[in-house]
Amino acid sequence: MSAKRIIFDSVLFLYTLVLLAYGSTQLAIAFAPAPAFGLSDLVIDQEFFVRRFPEVVTGVGVLWALAALLAAFAYKLNLLTTGEILFPNRQRRPPAEANPHFLRSFWGLHLLFLFLATLAMSLQVTEASFYELFDREGLSGAWRLWLGLTHPNFSLLAKAITEAIETILIAFLATVIAIPVAFFLAFFCAKNIMNNRVAFPFYVLLRVFMNVSRSVEPLIWALIFTVWVGVGPFAGMLALTIHSIASLAKYYSEILEGVADGPIDGIRSTGANAVQVVWFAIVPQIILPYIGMTIYRWDTNVRMATVIGLVGGGGIGTLLIQYQGQAMWPEVGCIILVIAVIVWLMDLASAYVREALK
């Protein structure tokens, strides 16, 4: 399908053009001071993007049109573009000549250029600097903090462990509440089950809803719930529950989509009804992977609950942010030690259980 190829190529070409525009003006200020350049207003940098946002949007639109023209031109020239590699057209190019070494082909050089240019831009935008990394004053500050962390104040140990248990329970409750909801929803998110015409719109709708609620980080959910139910472990638990439902439903539905059809045919052929088919043919196939996935989720939730604590979701994260705010590094050291041990133990336990379930 050449339309797919041209759309894909046009996006890549658009990115190439934007990189070229950005890179050329950045090189210009690097080698000739901007005022001397005389067009300081036209130097493309992050500020320019903010200051001239509407023009930038229009500009990108124009560039995209140009990129589409370039893509069509590349198609006419019969260049082996990345788009053609992804959406090959067997009629246009016999498979025999479709695979030159990637450094001798257009797509290989193109992607290599994009990779190196993006690498250069990332180094510049993140302000990566060896000077900052080895600055004497910065280093001595970090060393003081490190000394505090490595000499933990163990008088806080009892408190830290108590809060860590709260974190584990927050994660546990969030997982337990999410399991039945996700179990139920998973059947409606599985393509092989929702394959008839009536069910398919529900499938699409639910998938979109799930993807949206999953792409909102639990940290954001925690911010919402701290306003809703007040700062504390309850808010953290609710945030994790929402995220766990979406994640587990996705994991579960993927396991469901991998279920073998044979046993389903076998059980259907005995005269079992739909509920019996689910219980006797599908559930035995999914139960162990489900348990493994759920334990992994609990493990993840413990780690997330720690982070959520930082924004007021309760547990050991909240304790950490309190001491960090007062720069009490030996106390923070103790808390971090407890977190590390808890996360390590949970990780070990869940890996062990999942291995045993295989």
CA distance 35 to 120: 24
Angle at 343 between CA 138 and CA 158, to 5 degrees: 85
Residues 298-327 that bind other proteins (CB under 8 A): none
Q: Alpha-carbon torsion 345, 348, 351, 354, what sign?
A: negative
Which residue, 271 or 325, is less far from other proteins as judged by CB?
271
Site for other proteins contains 94 (CB under 8 A): no
Site for other proteins contains 268 (CB under 8 A): yes
Which residue, 257 or 265, is less far from other proteins as judged by CB?
265
Which residue, 21 or 260, is less far from other proteins as judged by CB?
260
Q: Tell me, rounded to whole angstroms, the distance of Cα 277 from its chain centroid.
A: 36
Which residue, 212 or 357, is less far from other proteins as judged by CB?
357
Site for other proteins contains 262 (CB under 8 A): yes
CA distance 24 to 171: 50
Site for other proteins contains 231 (CB under 8 A): no
Site for other proteins contains 95 (CB under 8 A): no
CA distance 207 to 26: 43
CA distance 100 to 296: 43
Residues 281-300 that bind other proteins (CB under 8 A): 281, 284-285, 288
Stretch touching other proteins by CB under 8 A, among 29-37, 72-80, 191-199, 258-266: 258-266
Q: Which of 279, 344, 345, 352 binds other proteins (CB under 8 A)?
A: 279
CA distance 36 to 39: 8
- Give me the least distance between CB of 268 and other proteins, in Å please: 6
**Which DSSP symbol is given to 93?**
S
Site for other proteins contains 263 (CB under 8 A): yes
Stretch touching other proteins by CB under 8 A, among 35-43, 63-71, 141-149, 266-274: 266-274
**258-264 long-range contacts, CB within 8 A, separation 24+:** 259/192, 259/285, 259/286, 260/285
What's the one-letter identity of residue 356?
A
- Give me the least distance between CB of 252 and other proteins, in Å please: 17
Tell me which residues touch other proteins (CB under 8 A): 260, 262-263, 265-273, 275-276, 279-281, 284-285, 288
